[in-house]
Structure 1
């Protein structure tokens, strides 16, 4: 479970920014609370709201980037390829920094990363042993190469120093069967997101087929997805998967069978089957969204979803938040952070669960509503946001 993330010089955020899932002592207990091993409270759900172009997507990207970098950079990066991110356009030579505090197997860890587009400058993992953190490993770039010090990490020193500069030491150690590194990689692979280097991964038919292929391999999750879609008033009685052949190659030119979700529609007048390509864009988007969310609910982890409300009626937002809210649907205390343009989110969440993002003088900044002086827990957040009193609205 994530506690906090600090980052700087990342896309439109030049100065220090923080994403905090921590809940202080003042907010009343709610079903959106989760419990950390030390007894403190955290949020299951955070919303990110702001005008177009303010930096909402960039505020979510650090979690997606860290997930990829820790889990997959060793296998998916060529030796001289740039690390796939961008620093702030006005600080291209300055390092980009991340610090993630999280809980894994009831232990508290802190992962630090400092990079430029060519090299890791610093990478370290610390474990909380009392009130303080002790290092597991520290990797530093120097003129002649890398130095690595470690304490019980178990990665051979000669191999650790030779890890190339554009990949994570954790990713490399996992490939050398270091047990803690494998646990870390599995943890970061538990992040599910719809983001890529250029921004949100927009819906297309290939994503629908990929989701269907996933659900074909996970029938219990497909049953759950079908039940949820049928409850969302989409006119569906059931959803079945049907093997199909798609000619023409291109983005669908894959080995093995492909599957098409088929919407089952019934009424007193009769019934029919409709391929999901002929269903509404909202129905298709909801199906792909459940592919991102249900594995996190099933196994634990975090879902990072840009524009959760895309193609969805505002009333459907609450149904997706409820999946994380209740213990029976979220037994492993999975977390969700999402951006949206739906103002109704202010009626669904408390002030310590909502971040606002705004861009001023080419720099994005973000703040949580409970950091605003004078804002009360019982204030009408929806009305204040709509009136512009909270900021983070377009000036039209």
Structure 2
């Protein structure tokens, strides 16, 4: 389970920013889950966070930064060339940031209840720092302290890690020790590496949608998965009664048609390429969504409301909130433009204030990420209305008709030039 993520000098995130699933002290959080730690204490954690903001405010970059940390852990040893520069995207609007390190850090809890902190700093040419801390009894244990500026780059406090000399000798200057250890199935560090493999799955609005459709189709061959997928199609009120699945010779992927109600009992099976864009988008989401719920994974969805009716997006939120549907502690981070996700149709709150995060650009063009709790909303305040009125920030600074006036001004200027 992910607790916190920190990042600096990546994409539009210039200064250090933090995204936290941990419920703030004293916050009344109806959606929170209580997680038992290995030291016997507990911590309240949200199963879901939503990141809202204006276009180009950096909300998608929060998810991209999470993915970039994951990719570095996956690929630094196996795919980064020994003499190639480290692939990173620094903050571009300040040339001085090219000489600054890119920083990533994640706090998470494994199945045994032990909390871990893992992080690293990258320059263009090498891993400048890397660290790993554990909290098995509530107090910090340092496992790894790497600093490329020291004569002795690798330090293993407490000598807890096995094969230390081998790892220090064989880890390249531009590769993470964690990635190097996992390549040899290290008995202690592979489970930390595995957490990044099993989490931070990403879904973008249109990227790889055919693959997600194909995966959901593949899941239909499992009777239990098929039952749940068909139920989610029906509850979405798309007029769908069920599915027809036919195996294709020589292919692992079946042929699928959705059966739409025709007012009678049989229904009509429609060819896949005749289905609406919204139906296909919802269908493509179901396979990865159910897999994340089954495995207790952290799922990242950019623009949850893209191609989905707000009702569908709200149902995704409810799936992660419901402990019966989400018994394994799966988590979701999504971005959205849709303020209706802040409230229910009856005027209640779909999300607790601590689950709502906002992004804004400062005068330097750098993204700032902050929770709605920082704005101290009133207990009974209508979050959707207050957000649209700009009470919390995170919305475009446009007045009504401003775009049209700008177009008229540009046209007038062009006429004067001619």
TM-score between the two structures when normalised by the length of structure 1: 0.88
| 2:415 alignment counterpart | none
The separation in 2 between residues aligned to 1:92 and 1:317, in whole angstroms, is 38
Q: Which of 153, 160, 179 is 2:161 aligned to?
A: 153
The equivalences for 1:241-256 within 5 A come to: 241-244=245-248, 256=251
| Runs of at least 5 residues in structure 1 that lack an aligned partner in the other structure | 246-254
Which of the numbers 222, 240, 244 marks the counterpart of 1:236? 240
Q: 2:368 maps to what in 1?
A: 365
**In structure 2, C-alpha distance between the alignment counterparts of 1:215 and 1:208, rounded to whole Å:** 11
Q: Which runs of 5+ in 2 are unaligned?
A: 344-349, 399-418
Distance 2:368 2:338 in 1: 20
Residue 251 of structure 1 corresponds to which residue in structure 2? none
**Counterpart among 385, 388, 391 of residue 387 in structure 2:** 385
How far apart in 1 are the matches of 2:161 and 2:224? 37
Rg (Cα) greater in structure: 2
Superposed, 1:142-181 pairs within 5 Å as 142=149, 146-149=153-156, 151-181=159-189
With over 3 angstroms needed to count, the CA separation of the structure-2 counterparts of 1:233 and 1:82, relative to structure 1, is farther
Matches within 5 A, 1:1-396: 1-37=1-37, 38-89=41-92, 90=94, 91-104=97-110, 105-142=112-149, 146-149=153-156, 151-194=159-202, 200=204, 202-203=206-207, 206-212=210-216, 214-215=218-219, 220-244=224-248, 256-269=251-264, 270-347=266-343, 348-361=350-363, 362-372=365-375, 374-396=376-398
Q: CA deviation at 1:378?
A: 2.1
Residues 230/31 of structure 1: CA separation in 2 closer, same or farther (3 Å cut): same
Deviation at 1:146, TM superposition (A): 4.5
**Cα distance in 2 between the residues matched to 1:164 and 1:256:** 42
Deviation at 1:130, TM superposition (A): 4.3
Cα deviation, residue 303, structure 1? 0.7
The answer for the alignment partner of 2:346 in structure 1 is: none
Q: CA-to-partner distance for each residue in 1:220-270, whole Å, 9 max, x for gaps?
A: 33432222122111111113443458xxxxxxxxx9533343211233345
- In the TM superposition, residue 49 of structure 1 has moved relative to its aligned partner by 0.3
The residue aligned with 1:250 is none
Asked if structure 1 preserves the Cα contact closer than 8 Å seen for 2:209 and 2:281, the reply is: no
Distance 1:233 1:69, change over 3 A: same
Distance 1:203 1:95, change over 3 A: closer
| Matched-pair contact (CA < 8 Å) for 1:211–1:287 | no
Question: What secondary structure sits across from 1:365 in the alignment?
Answer: strand
Cα distance, 1:256–1:144 mapped onto 2, change above 3 Å:
farther
* The structure with more strand, counted as a fraction of residues: 1
Query: Kindly tell me: are residues 201 and 161 of structure 1, through their superposed partners in 2, closer, same or farther at Cα, counting changes over 3 Å?
Result: farther
Distance 1:241 1:148, change over 3 A: farther
Question: How many residues of Structure 1 are paired with residues of Structure 2 in the alignment?
Answer: 382
Task: Summarize deviations over 1:138-168 as a string: whole Å, max 9, x none.
Answer: 2332488953536322234224332223333
Distance 1:144 1:152, change over 3 A: closer
1:67: Cα distance to partner?
2.3
Instruction: Kindly report the root-mean-square deviation, in angstroms, between the aligned alpha carbons of the 2 structures.
Output: 2.5
Q: Please say if residues 31 and 352 of structure 2, whose CA atoms lie closer than 8 Å, have aligned partners that are also in contact.
A: no
Please identify, of 63-72 and 207-216, the stretch whose mean Cα deviation from structure 2 is larger. Answer: 207-216
Aligned residue for 1:22, secondary structure, equals: coil
Preserved contact between residue 86 and residue 117 of structure 1 (Cα < 8 Å): no
Question: Taking structure 2 as the reference length, what is the TM-score of the superposition?
Answer: 0.84
- Look up the SS of the partner of 1:114 in the other structure: strand
Question: Alpha carbons of 1:328 and 1:274: their partners in 2 closer, same or farther (altered >3 Å)?
Answer: same
Call closer, same or farther: CA 1:48–1:264 in 2, change over 3 Å. same
Cα distance in structure 1, aligned partners of 2:170 and 2:397: 52
SS in 1 for 2:354: helix
